[in-house]
Amino acid sequence: MDVQTQRLHRRLFPATRLVFARPVAEVLYEIQGGRCLYCPGSTPLRTPGTGQVDHFVPWSRFSNDAFENLVLVHPSCNGSKNDRSASGQHTEAWAELYGPRMERAVQLSDEGVFTGDPSRTFGLLRTSYDLLPEGFPLWDGRKAAPNPFDEGQREQLDAAVVHIASLLP
Ligand SMILES: [Zn+2]
């Protein structure tokens, strides 16, 4: 990209999102055992750099850069989820690792790398699901059809909420 194109690019796409520092991907890689949060059964990511950092609760809905809201995923999974809300199974997987994420967020804040805000992140998750109308299509994976928000989904989401609530101070 030449300088003029760069300028045009910056004007058209202003940098409103954070570009995540490498340590964030590395810490997420470690917490997730090298696996993509959205397809844990698949081959692990080769290195932290081969994954992409995604906002679990979509950034376009609530701009929350707190560490608890970040997950490491395949670029293809990230592209497929885009700004959609994840289904119950993914929310449970995310909630399961909320404890380790909270711990590391404290450390990362101390080191000035990143900030955490576990209560706010949790509040935004609840709000985003409280606002869902019945039947709303939830993203269920790169190769899966969207899952309508129904009783089964609500149960999984509630289980995730209860789990996270039990971890908060
Ligand atoms: Zn994936």
Domain ranges, residue 140: 16-167
**pLDDT higher than 60, residue 19:** no
Ligand 1 mean position, distance from CA 73 (Å): 5
- Report how many domains make up the chain: 1
Coil vs helix vs strand at 139: strand
The pLDDT of residue 14 is 47
Residue 1 lies in a domain: no
pLDDT > 90? residue 48? yes
C-alpha 138 to ligand 1 mean position (Å): 16
What would the pLDDT profile of 59-79 be if each residue is shown by its tens digit?
Answer: 888 888 899 999 999 999 999
**Residue 6, in any domain of the structure:** no
Helix axes 151-167, 118-130, angle to 10 degrees: 160
Q: What is the pLDDT of residue 9?
A: 54
Residue 2 lies in a domain: no
> For residue range 90-119, what is the model confidence (pLDDT) as tens digits?
999 999 999 999 998 888 887 777 788 999
CA of 46 to the centre of ligand 1 (A): 12
> What Rg do the C-alpha atoms of the chain give, in angstroms?
16
Instruction: Please tell me the total number of residues recorded for the chain in this structure.
Output: 169
Please report, to the nearest 10 degrees, the dihedral formed by the alpha carbons of residues 125, 128, 131, 132 taken in order: -100
Quick one: 131 exposed, middle or buried, by C-beta within 10 A (0-12, 13-18, 19+)? Answer: exposed
**Is residue 5 included in any domain, yes or no?**
no
Using the mean position of ligand 1's atoms as its centre, give its distance from the Cα of residue 39 in Å.
4
pLDDT band at residue 8 under the 50/70/90 scheme: low
User: Is 7 inside a domain boundary?
Assistant: no
Show Cβ contacts of residue 145 under 8 Å, excluding neighbours closer than 6 positions: none
At 45, the pLDDT band (50, 70, 90 cuts) reads very high
Residue 4 domain flag = no
Comparing C-alpha atoms, which of 146, 154, 168 is closest to residue 92? 154
- 4 Cα: distance to centroid of ligand 1 (angstroms): 36
* DSSP labels, 53-69: EEESS-TTTS----GGG
* Residue type at position 7: R
What's the mean pLDDT when you consider all of the chain? Answer: 88
Please check whether residue 52 lies inside any domain of the structure. yes
